[in-house]
Structure 1
Amino acid sequence: MNKSLASHDAIMKIVKRRGVDLVVFSEPNVRKMQDESWLHDATCSTAVRSFNSNIPIVRHGAGLGHVWLETADILVCSAYVSPNVELVVFEETLYELSRLINAVCKDVVICGDFNTKNVSWGGGVTDKRGLLLEEVMAGLD
C-alpha cells in the first residue's frame, strides 16, 4: 500500500461491502494502524486484522518485520522486509517466521512483501534474498 491513506480507505470500503473476514497489509498507513484495532509489528510496516467476530483469535503476536494471528484452524502471518535493510536483518526475519511456523500444527498462510527476486515466482533473475526465501520456505514442507 506504500503507506497511502487513500489506498487504505479504498480497501476498507471493499472489506465492508464484501464482508471480508481477514485483511493483511504491507506498508500500511501508520496513522490508521495506530487509530484502529489492527495487529501490527513495532514499526507498523505490516499488519493484520480480523473483521469476523465469529472466528475467535486464539493467539497473536509480532516480531521483526512480521505480525501474526492464530485461529483454531489456521495461522496467518503478514510480513514486510524493506529492500534497504542488511541481509542479516532479512535472515533474522525469516528465522523468526520459520520458528513460529514450525511451532504450530495447522495450516499456515504467509502474506507480505519480502522485496526479493526469484525466477521461481516470475522474476527475471534470482537475488540472494530470493534464494534464501525459497530455501527457507521449501524447508517448511
Structure 2
Amino acid sequence: MLLPQIADEHDADILTLCEPHRVRQTQDWITNETKTAAIWVRGAARARITARGVGDDYVWARVGAVTYVSVYLTPNCAAAEFRAKVAFLEDGLRDLPGDLVVAGDLNARAVEWGMTATNRRGRLLLEMAARLDLVVANTGDVPTYRRPGFGDSIPDVTMTTDRTPPRIGRWRVLEGYTASDHQYIAFEVAGETRTTRTRTRHPPRWNVDKLDGLKFSAELASPQS
C-alpha cells in the first residue's frame, strides 16, 4: 500500500504508472491489456474525467482540459519492433483531444531528458515529439532508475504539448523509498481553462519511416487527371 501513501503525501490526484505491482479493478483505474501502462485518477479529479482509452503500449484519460497519457515501451524488443511501437504511439497521440501530458518509461536515452548521449531509440522518440509539437518537460539529470550492478539511468520521461509547459511546475524526481528500481516523479499542472484550452489540429507532417518508395515513385510517374 505504499503507492496510496505516497500519493497522499504529495496530494497527487492523477497517477501515471508503468508495470504496476497491483492493478485495481475500479472505474478510476485505466490499464491496457498487458497491464504495463495504467492511469489512476483519485479524489475530486475523478468527476472531471470526460474520456478515456487504451492502446497497445499506452492508456489515456482526459481530465478537464488536459489529456494524460501513460506509456510503457519495453526494452526487450528489436530495433524494428521498437520503431513500429513508436509509429503506433504517434498515430494514437495524434488523434487525442486537448493538450497532452505524456509520461512513462520509454527505455531510451536522450540528452534532452538528462542523459549524456542520445541513442537510436531516443532519436526516434524525439522525431515523433517534433512532429506532434511535444516538448520534454524533464529538468535536471537526477536518475529515475537505480539498480545495484546495472548503473543509473533516466528512462522515465514527461512530454507535453508545446504550449503546456508554462503550466507544468515543480517537475522533480522524488528521493523516497518506492520498493522499485524506479523513483517516482512529481509535477503540477495548473491553470486549466476548460472552455478555451483546446488542442490545435496541426496538419500531418511527413514521417519518412512510413514512406513506401515504390508507391510514391509510381504516383509521381502517373499522368495527372
Q: State the TM bucket, normalised to the shorter chain.
A: 0.7 to 0.9
Per-residue CA distance 1:14-55 (angstroms, 9 max, x = gap) = 2234432111111211xx214455211111111101113454
What's the CA shift for 1:105?
4.6
| 3-state SS of paired residue (1:42) | coil
| Aligned equivalent of 1:133 | 125
Evaluate the alpha carbon distance shift between residue 89 and residue 56 of structure 1 in structure 2; reply closer, same or farther with a 3 A threshold.
farther
Q: Distance in 2 between matches of 1:52 and 1:34?
A: 15
Per-residue CA distance 1:63-121 (angstroms, 9 max, x = gap) = 12111111341111001111112233322332233223322452100000110012222
Q: Is the 8 A contact 1:66 1:93 kept in 2?
A: no
Match of 1:43 among 19, 34, 52: 34
AA aligned to 2:131 is: G
Structure holding more helix per residue: 1
The reply to whether residue 27 of structure 1 matches residue 19 of structure 2 is yes
AA aligned to 1:41 is: N
| Aligned equivalent of 1:117 | 109
Q: Is the 8 A contact 2:72 2:104 kept in 1?
A: yes
The reply to whether residue 61 of structure 1 matches residue 53 of structure 2 is yes
Q: How large is the RMSD of aligned CA atoms in angstroms?
A: 2.0
AA aligned to 2:23 is: M
Q: Distance in 2 between matches of 1:78 and 1:28?
A: 12
Bigger CA drift: 10-19 or 75-84? Answer: 10-19
The reply to whether residue 52 of structure 1 matches residue 74 of structure 2 is no
**Matched residue count:** 131
Evaluate the alpha carbon distance shift between residue 120 and residue 18 of structure 1 in structure 2; reply closer, same or farther with a 3 A threshold.
closer
Q: Distance in 1 between matches of 2:29 and 2:81?
A: 24
Bigger CA drift: 32-41 or 58-67? Answer: 32-41
Evaluate the alpha carbon distance shift between residue 89 and residue 35 of structure 1 in structure 2; reply closer, same or farther with a 3 A threshold.
same
Q: Is the 8 A contact 1:39 1:47 kept in 2?
A: yes
Q: Is the 8 A contact 2:67 2:97 kept in 1?
A: no
* TM-score calculated relative to the size of structure 2: 0.53
- Structure 1 or 2, whichever has the larger Rg, is 2
Match of 1:100 among 92, 100, 104: 92
